[in-house]
Structure 1
Amino acid sequence: MFYFIFLVAKTFSGKPFTDVSHFVNADGLHIFTNCWEPKGDVKFLVCMLHGFGGHCIRFNELASYFTEIGGLVFSHDHIGHGESEGSRTTVDDYNKLIRDTYQHVDIVMEKYPGKPVYIFGQSMGGALAVLAAHAKPTLFKGVILVGPMLLIDPGLQSSFRRVLIKMAAYLAPNVVLTSLPESRGSRDQDEIKISQEDPLKSSDVKSEMALQLLRIGEQLEVVMPQFTCPFITLHGGDDFTCSVEASKLIHRVAKSEDKTLKIYELCRHDLVHELQEDRIKCFTDIQNWLKERLQLNS
C-alpha cells in the first residue's frame, strides 16, 4: 500500500498559502503579497519594496496616501522575509529579489494595462528599486526612495573585511554576523516597541546576506552615475543605519533630469514610522511629488 503525503506550503506564521495572496517565483518559492486599492478608478500603480528584515504589511499607513489619489499599491515580502518562503532574512543572489519584483509588476500590469507604474523602495528596498529601474528604465515612470541603502557600509569597505565576508558566506552562510538594533530606527517609542515585538521582523544579518548587501553596494557604485529615471529621495538627517550622504550623492551624480532631494533633519532611518508629525510631512511630500507628475488636481 502506498501513501502519498501532500505538504501544503505555509507562511512563516503558519497560514496555508492557499488562504493568502501570493505568487510563486521562478525558484518555486511562495511569495506573500499585499494590495491596497483606491476607492475610485485606478489612475496609477505603485510597487513598494521593503527593507532588510522588514515586511510589506508595515506599509499600511503610507499606502493610504497613494490610494487617496487613485493609486493601486502592491507589495510583497522578499524571499526569506515576513510571510514569504525561503531561508530567514537571506538570499544567495540579490538579483533574485529584483527578478521577483519584475514578476510581481508584470502580474499587476496585466490586470491594469496602460497604467503608469512607480516603484518605491525603503532602505535595502531603495537600493533594489534603483537597480530595477536602471535595468528597465522604460518600465517605471518614477522612483521613490526613502532612507535608501546606496553606499557600502564603512565597516565593509576594506579589502580585508570583504575577503572575510566572502569566506564566511561560503563556509558558514547562515552564521549571524550582526543584528541591527530596532531602537535606532525611529524617535517614536510606540513604533519602536511595535517593531521589536513584531514576530515577522528579523534584524539578524547572516554572512550570506552580508555578502549580497556588499555586492548590491558595489553595483550601485557603477549604476548611480548612469541613473536616468525621474526620482525623489527622502532621508532622515539623523539616520544611523543608511548614509544620508549617499542620498546626497545620487542626487548629485545621477544623470536624471527630474530629481528631488528632501532631508528631514531630526529624523532617523525609518521615516515611514517616525514621529507622527514628521512622517505625515514625508508622506505628503511624496503624494505631492506624484500629483505633480501625474497632473492630478486632487
Structure 2
Amino acid sequence: MVVIAHGYGEHIGRYERLADRLVADGAVVYAVDHVGHGRSEGERVHITDFEDVVTDLHTLDETARREHPGLPVVLLGHSMGGLIAARYAQRYGDTLAALVLSSPLIGRWEGAAQLLALDEIPDVPLDITTLSRDPSVGERYAADPLVWHGPFKRPTLQAIERGLAAIDEGPSLGGLPLMWIHGEADPLVPIDGSRAGVEHLRGPDYVERTYPEARHELFNELNADAVMTEVAAFVRRS
C-alpha cells in the first residue's frame, strides 16, 4: 500500500498518472488533499502547524489499514509533501515499510526566509516552466482551478520554517528504507538544500536517484516513465 502526500498549492488529482502506475504494479494507493488544498476545507494554502497535517495523514493511514489489513505501507511525499512525509516518518516510522521523498522540502530552503523578510509577500504567479521540461505540464497547472495561483500566506511560510527545524532536530530514520529522488535542475526546491535534510534522515538502507536537467515535478517530467519504474521497483522490494 502506498500513501501519497502532495505538494504546496496543488492537489492529489495531479498524481493520477503515478497512482495508475503503482496500481498497475499491484499496489493499493491512498491520498488526500491537505487542509486548505484542492477539495479539502480550510482557507486556501493556510497552514499554521505541519504537525496537524501529519496527524491528518495518520488518520488517512489508519483508514487505509482498516480497509486493507496486513499490507505493508510505503509513504511517498513530494515537495512540501516531502516535509510532511519526513516528519511523519520521524513520528510513526515504526509503522512504515519504507519512505520515498520526491524533491522534498527538507534541509535548507532559503525561499521561506527571503519571503518572510519582505513587508508584503508579492502576488507573483509561479513560473510554470520550473515544474517540468514538458510545456504542457505548466499549461495544465496554470489552467487548473483546484491549484492555488495566489501568493504564499505568511503563517504558512512560518510553519514551513518550524517544520524544517522540527525535522532537523528530530531523529534519523534508522533502519527505515529510504529512497530520495530529485531533479538536478530543480529551481523551486534546490537539490543541495534537500541533500542536507536527507543526510540527517537516512540510514543504511538508502537509495538515491538524481536526474540531470530534470526540474521539480519528476512524475511529470520528460523521463517520468523511467522515474516511476524506479520508484515502483523500490516499493515492490519494500
TM-score > 0.5, shorter chain as reference? yes
Is 1:289 aligned to 2:234, yes or no?
Answer: yes
SS of corresponding position for 1:48? strand
What are the superposed Cα offsets for residues 195-230 of structure 1, whole Å, 9 maximum, x if unpaired? 01101001421111111111111112223x622221
Is 1:200 aligned to 2:166, yes or no?
Answer: no
> Residue 245 of structure 1: CA displacement?
1.4
> Residue 91 of structure 1: CA displacement?
1.6
| Residues 95-244 of structure 1 aligned to structure 2 (within 5 Å) | 95-157=51-113, 176-177=121-122, 179=124, 180-203=126-149, 204-223=151-170, 226-228=172-174, 229-244=176-191
Quick check: 1:89–1:209 contact (8 Å CA) kept in 2?
yes
Distance, in Å, in 2 between the alignment partners of 1:255 and 1:120 is 15
Q: Which residue of 2 aligns with 1:8?
A: none
Number of aligned residue pairs = 235
Q: Which has the larger radius of gyration?
A: 1
Tell which deviates more after alignment, 106-115 or 244-253.
244-253
SS of corresponding position for 1:287? helix
Distance, in Å, in 2 between the alignment partners of 1:152 and 1:251 is 11
> Residue 251 of structure 1: CA displacement?
4.3
Greater strand share, structure number: 1
SS of corresponding position for 2:141? helix
Q: Would the alpha carbon gap of residues 66 and 155 (structure 1) be closer, same or farther in structure 2, given more than 3 Å must change?
A: closer
> Residue 242 of structure 1: CA displacement?
0.7
Q: Would the alpha carbon gap of residues 54 and 155 (structure 1) be closer, same or farther in structure 2, given more than 3 Å must change?
A: closer
> Residue 249 of structure 1: CA displacement?
2.9
Q: 1:58 aligns with which of 5, 9, 14?
A: 14
Q: Letter of the aligned partner of 1:283 in structure 2?
A: M
Output the aligned Cα RMSD: 2.0
Distance, in Å, in 1 between the alignment partners of 2:38 and 2:193 is 27
Q: 1:271 aligns with which of 205, 218, 226?
A: 218
Q: Percent of aligned positions with the same letter in both sequences?
A: 25
Q: Would the alpha carbon gap of residues 227 and 136 (structure 1) be closer, same or farther in structure 2, given more than 3 Å must change?
A: same
Distance, in Å, in 1 between the alignment partners of 2:68 and 2:180 is 27
Unaligned runs of 5+ in 1: 1-44, 169-174, 294-298
Q: TM-score, normalised by structure 1?
A: 0.74
Q: Letter of the aligned partner of 2:208 in structure 1?
A: L
> Residue 177 of structure 1: CA displacement?
4.7
Greater helix share, structure number: 2
SS of corresponding position for 2:213? coil
